[in-house]
Amino acid sequence: MTTDRVSAQYDIEKKSLVVAYVLWLFLGYVGAHRFYLGRPISGLIMLLISGATLLVSFVTFGLLSFLWFGIALWWLIDALLIPGMAAGTNTRIADRVFARR
């Protein structure tokens, strides 16, 4: 592969901080930004916790409000972690793409 093609491939695959933050803002409670940034396990955990909390909150309140607080706290902490997650994902993409040369 030529250097231009490799660079173009990296540009296509790299992850955008803007997209990551938009996903975090609107769908962060279900882990959408984590799926986008290549963290499917923690994204799935967020999705499962949010789904379970939503289902059970229809039945009862109390302890489950604590789970909502936990999801909200995780969501806020992720705001600080997104740049590092994006940089790590982009580094892995660059290593994979540029190693093909």
Question: Is residue 99 one of the residues assigned to a domain?
Answer: no
Give the model's pLDDT for residue 23.
97
Is the sign of the CA dihedral 44, 45, 51, 54 positive or negative?
A: negative
Is the sign of the CA dihedral 16, 18, 23, 25 positive or negative?
A: positive
**Residue 76: domain span:** 3-94
pTM for the model stands at 0.80
Give the model's pLDDT for residue 99.
87
Question: Is residue 41 one of the residues assigned to a domain?
Answer: yes
Question: Is residue 70 one of the residues assigned to a domain?
Answer: yes
Question: Is residue 100 one of the residues assigned to a domain?
Answer: no
Question: Is residue 61 one of the residues assigned to a domain?
Answer: yes
What one-letter code names the amino acid at 79?
A
The predicted-structure confidence for 13-63, as pLDDT tens digits, reads as follows 999 999 999 999 999 989 999 999 999 999 999 999 988 887 777 666 666
Question: Is residue 7 one of the residues assigned to a domain?
Answer: yes
Question: Is residue 64 one of the residues assigned to a domain?
Answer: yes
